């Protein structure tokens, strides 16, 4: 039942054209790449949201909002010096309470359900990478010719039992993704 509910939530929260040619055509909740945070939240709300502090490089900043719409958490990334706070990355997180197998089943089902939406993007994966000292992620990405992408990944730790397994559905602009992979943690 949880699985069906998440499929419906993810499918209904991705408001999109039948065939989207650009990552900004998608929404998670009511947020899209290219939107201004200020169109959705006040400066005070943005200031009061938890900050993402994992990045060593400070080109981008991020906020996280707990229990946003139908998600356990949503993370929104923007250029640190941008007064308009344009969104370059969105990650919606659904917890799986240390149940990696259910996460993988949900991820596969979500990818299958969104194949027709990501028609003009190429599916890559699976890929497994280190996330933190004790955690990894395994996922797939739909990548557009522009370099923008949608990522569907399960994050897990076999060493740290306090780490919550979770699925992330992320939308990333090309420049933000390059920074995330090459600069953010170095």
pLDDT, tens digit (0-9, with 9 covering 90-100), for 105-124: 999 999 988 888 788 889 99
Beta carbons of 92 and 169 less than 8 angstroms apart:
yes
Residue-wise pLDDT for 128-157, tens only, equals 988 888 889 999 999 999 999 999 999 998
Residue 135: other Cβ atoms inside 10 A:
16
Q: Where are the domains of the chain?
A: 2-182
């Amino acid at each position: 039942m949880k699985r069906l509910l998440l499929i419906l939530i993810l499918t209904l929260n991705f408001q999109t054209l039948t065939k989207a040619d650009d990552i900004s055509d998608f929404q998670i909740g009511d947020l899209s790449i290219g939107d201004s945070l200020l169109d959705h939240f006040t400066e005070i709300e943005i200031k009061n949201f938890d900050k993402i502090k994992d990045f060593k490089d400070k080109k981008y900043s991020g906020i996280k909002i707990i229990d946003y719409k139908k998600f356990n958490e949503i993370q929104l990334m923007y250029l640190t010096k941008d007064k308009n706070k344009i969104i370059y990355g969105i990650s919606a997180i659904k917890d799986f309470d240390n149940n990696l197998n259910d996460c993988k089943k949900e991820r596969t089902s979500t990818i299958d359900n969104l194949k027709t939406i990501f028609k003009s993007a190429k599916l890559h994966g699976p890929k497994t990478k280190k996330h933190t000292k004790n955690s990894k992620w395994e996922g797939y990405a739909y990548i557009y010719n522009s370099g923008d992408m949608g990522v569907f990944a399960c994050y897990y730790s076999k060493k740290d039992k306090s780490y919550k397994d979770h699925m992330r559905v992320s939308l990333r602009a090309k420049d933000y993704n390059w920074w995330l992979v090459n600069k953010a943690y170095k």
